[in-house]
Amino acid sequence: MGKKKKKTDNSNVLATNKKAFHDFTVLARHEAGISLTGTEVKSCRARNITMQDSYVRILEGNAELLNVHIATYEQGNQFNHDPKRKRPLLLHKREILKLNQQIREKGLTLVPLKFYLNKGLIKVELGLCKGKTKGDKRDTLRERQDTKDARRTMSQYK
C-alpha cells in the first residue's frame, strides 16, 4: 500500500564528535568496523566514549584509530582494557589505499564522526575532512544564526 518510511531514530548512535564538525569541513563519509575487546564493547554500549582530538592514521596498509577514550568497564576485572589504546579499523584494502592517497595528495584528515550500532555491531563513521580557518568558523556561525532568525520571523507570520 504505502511506502515504508526510513528510520530516523538516533537510538543506535552511541557517540558523536561535535568538535569535528566545528573544526573541519566534512567532504566525504565512510563506514568502518572496529576491532574491540569484550569490555570495550560493553563500555561502548553504555555510551562511555569520548572522541575529542581523535583521528585515523594509516601505516603499512592498516588503518588505526587513535586518541579515542573508551572508559574502562565498571564490572570488568583484571582483564579490563586500556582506555586510550590504538584500535585497528576494519576496512577493505582498496578503501584504505584510496583514503591514504586522498590524505597524502590533498592534505586532508580522516576523523571519526560518530560511533553507532548497525545490526548489533559497533561501527564508526569516518569523515574525510579539510580543516577550517578562523574565518570559516565565523561564517558557519553567522549562517546558522541567520537561518535561525529567518525561521523565527517566518513562524511569527504564520
Q: Tens digit of pLDDT for each residue in 11-30?
A: 799 999 998 888 898 999 99
E-only strand ranges, the chain: 13-16, 24-34, 49-50, 55-59, 62-66, 69-70, 87-90, 109-118, 121-131
Taking CB atoms within 8 Å and a gap of at least 24, the contacts of 136-143 are 136/25, 137/22, 137/23
In a domain, 4, yes or no: no
Supply the pLDDT for residue 84.
84
Residue 73 in any domain: the answer is yes
The Cα 28–Cα 49 span in angstroms is 23
Residue 105 has a pLDDT of 87
CATH code assigned at 95: 2.40.280.10
In the chain, pLDDT over 70 holds for what percent of residues?
A: 94
Considering Cα of 98, then 94, then 6, then 50, what sign does the dihedral take?
A: negative
Average pLDDT, rounded, for the chain: 88
Confidence at 137, pLDDT banded by 50, 70, 90 = confident
d(CA 126, CA 56): 8
Q: Total structural domains in the chain?
A: 1
Domain assignment present for 141? no
Q: Residue written as cell 582498496?
A: 94
Predicted structure pTM score: 0.77
Provide the 10 A C-beta neighbour count for residue 35.
12
